[in-house]
Amino acid sequence: MKIPPLIAILGRPNVGKSTLFNRLLSRKEAIVEDRPGVTRDRHYSQGTYGRKSFRLVDTGGILFGDDHPLGDSIRKQALFALEEADAIIYVMDGREGYLPVDADVIGRIRRSGKPAVFAVNKVDTVKTEEVLSEFHRHGVDPLVGISAAHGRNVDAILDAFMDLMPDTLETYPVDPGIRFSDASESDIQEWLKRRISDPPRVAVIGRPNVGKSTLINRLLGEERLVTSPIPGTTRDAIDTLVTYRNRNYHFVDTAGLRKKGKVAEASELYAQIRTDRAICESEIAVVLLSAEDGLTDGDLRIIRQVIDHRRGLILAWNKWDILPEEDVRSSPPFRDVRERYPFLAFAPMFGCSALTGFHVSQLFQHINTVREWYFTRIPTSELNALILPLVESSPPPRLKNHPVRIFYVTQVQIAPSVIMVFVNRPEGISLQYRQFLSRKIREKYAFTGVPFLLKIQAKSRRDRDSSEK
């Protein structure tokens, strides 16, 4: 199986790299905003061109002014991408013309010996040759005039790399949980085998500046993500494959989530939307918390977002190393959390330091445990043996003087898990009674880190009548 070539898009800030990235992929992946320096990290994705397949990487700008606090980091990321890439697209601005910095970078690209196309963007008029003539005079070749915003001539870029691309590989996204009623037993087993053999997909999320990128860099052992003490540095969701003890883990580092009302920049808002999608596409979310700050309202909103999506949940307390030793011994932060927020009792918690590596390896143990429960299927006979005797001894309250009967319980879906309770009158099952049933299920089946959904379903009148005879 041939791996599709990795094509890197390089260029100065605000020349249209992210717009071209999106145009080549035909979807909005990289953050686009008419302001220099918006694309900060290298951003990878896979695309197709006809029956051919390729991978694309969008980078931060090659050069920034001295007043940009992240300039050195972003420039280093771009040059690092150049080293990793199989082919290069260098984007220049047709309105600004050919600049000395272009000559410097074009020289680097030519010395690398890698296939390259030099694209002059923002060529929106019929005077294409007039615009390109200046670049031709400086010996830039092969040269393509494009308009990334309007899609003009962008196919010519990919045409240059056709020989590098294999036929399109069939890929599938993280598919939704399987409902047992919609599939045969053999299909279920085949689905489970395929999903479990794939690397666990883990979204690393949290408030700005809690150390998400530092954690991924610690796990990966290289500076793949821009790290900085400036809140909100990681803006796009970036995928990273980490190998630990001969097992692969697929991590997604995401932009720091902010309360929607506080998001001022368009790029920050879009990053927040991307983070939500990262949760949906993952199996497990690691919510990184600050041991120094404790659990904040912002943290709780993010945790609720994970629970609402029914993804596996792990709470990692970062910056553990800066806490006074006596405080850690006397009152660990998550001991109070379990007491104050009992609805989080199902989620594993641990302290670590992404900066020093303290206890970071524990994360993999928790991921393995949560993922095992995420794909756990409890037999219907066992669930009914547990629940029906409880209902006999502690039945739900009557509804308008009518009995509320629970007929049977069954797990109808995994990944995420859904347990269905069939009753005669769903409106008679209160929130408190639902929590009672959930608690009893967890007492026998821990579902560690898995916020399963307990759904109340009305049984058909015909089934009710037959069961009551």
1 confidence band (pLDDT: 50, 70, 90): very low
What pLDDT is attached to residue 220? 80
Contact by Cβ (8 Å): 404, 397: yes
Euclidean distance between CA atoms 408 and 179, whole angstroms? 17
Lowest mean pLDDT among 2-16, 162-176, 384-398: 162-176
Q: Is 60 annotated as a binding-site member?
A: yes
Q: Is 331 annotated as a binding-site member?
A: no
| Residue extent(s) of CATH 3.40.50.300 domains in the chain | 6-164, 178-374
Q: Is 298 annotated as a binding-site member?
A: no
Query: What CATH number was assigned to the domain covering residues 380-468?
Result: 3.30.300.20
Q: Is 332 annotated as a binding-site member?
A: no
Hey, is 145 helix, strand or coil?
Answer: strand
Q: Is 208 annotated as a binding-site member?
A: yes
Q: What percent of the chain has pLDDT over 90?
A: 40
Average pLDDT, the chain: 81
What pLDDT is attached to residue 381? 97
51-57: average pLDDT: 84
Q: Is 206 annotated as a binding-site member?
A: yes
β-sheet bridge partners, residue 120: 92, 145
Q: Is the pTM of this model over 0.85?
A: no
Q: Is 257 annotated as a binding-site member?
A: yes
247-253 and 201-205 as β-strands: parallel, antiparallel, unpaired? parallel
Q: Is 58 annotated as a binding-site member?
A: yes
Q: Is 171 annotated as a binding-site member?
A: no
DSSP state of 309: T
Which of residues 373 and 141 earns the better pLDDT score?
373
Q: Is 65 annotated as a binding-site member?
A: no
Q: Is 320 annotated as a binding-site member?
A: yes
Q: Is 93 annotated as a binding-site member?
A: no
Q: Is 378 annotated as a binding-site member?
A: no
218-227: average pLDDT: 70
What pLDDT is attached to residue 175? 47
Q: Is 319 annotated as a binding-site member?
A: yes
Q: Which CATH class is domain 178-374?
A: alpha beta
| Residue extent(s) of CATH 3.30.300.20 domains in the chain | 380-468
Which of residues 458 and 267 earns the better pLDDT score?
458
Lowest mean pLDDT among 61-70, 94-103, 288-297: 61-70
| Strand extents, DSSP E, 50-135 | 52-58, 87-93, 116-121
Q: Is 16 annotated as a binding-site member?
A: yes
Lowest mean pLDDT among 158-167, 168-177, 196-205, 365-374: 168-177
Residue of 64, 40, 131, 56 whose CA lies nearest to 92? 131
Q: Is 14 annotated as a binding-site member?
A: yes
What pLDDT is attached to residue 172? 34
Q: Is 123 annotated as a binding-site member?
A: yes
Q: Is 380 annotated as a binding-site member?
A: no
Euclidean distance between CA atoms 469 and 459, whole angstroms? 15
Q: Is 37 annotated as a binding-site member?
A: no
Q: Is 469 annotated as a binding-site member?
A: no
Q: Is 107 annotated as a binding-site member?
A: no
Res. 125: pLDDT tops 80: no
Res. 468: pLDDT tops 80: no
Euclidean distance between CA atoms 463 and 469, whole angstroms? 10
Contact by Cβ (8 Å): 234, 226: yes
Q: Is 62 annotated as a binding-site member?
A: yes
Which of residues 271 and 118 earns the better pLDDT score?
118
361-385: average pLDDT: 96
Tokens of 96: 């600004």
pLDDT tens-digit series, residues 327-372:
655 556 667 788 889 999 999 999 999 999 999 999 999 999 999 9
Q: Is 207 annotated as a binding-site member?
A: yes
β-sheet bridge partners, residue 48: 53
The CATH superfamily label for domain 6-164 reads P-loop containing nucleotide triphosphate hydrolases (3.40.50.300)
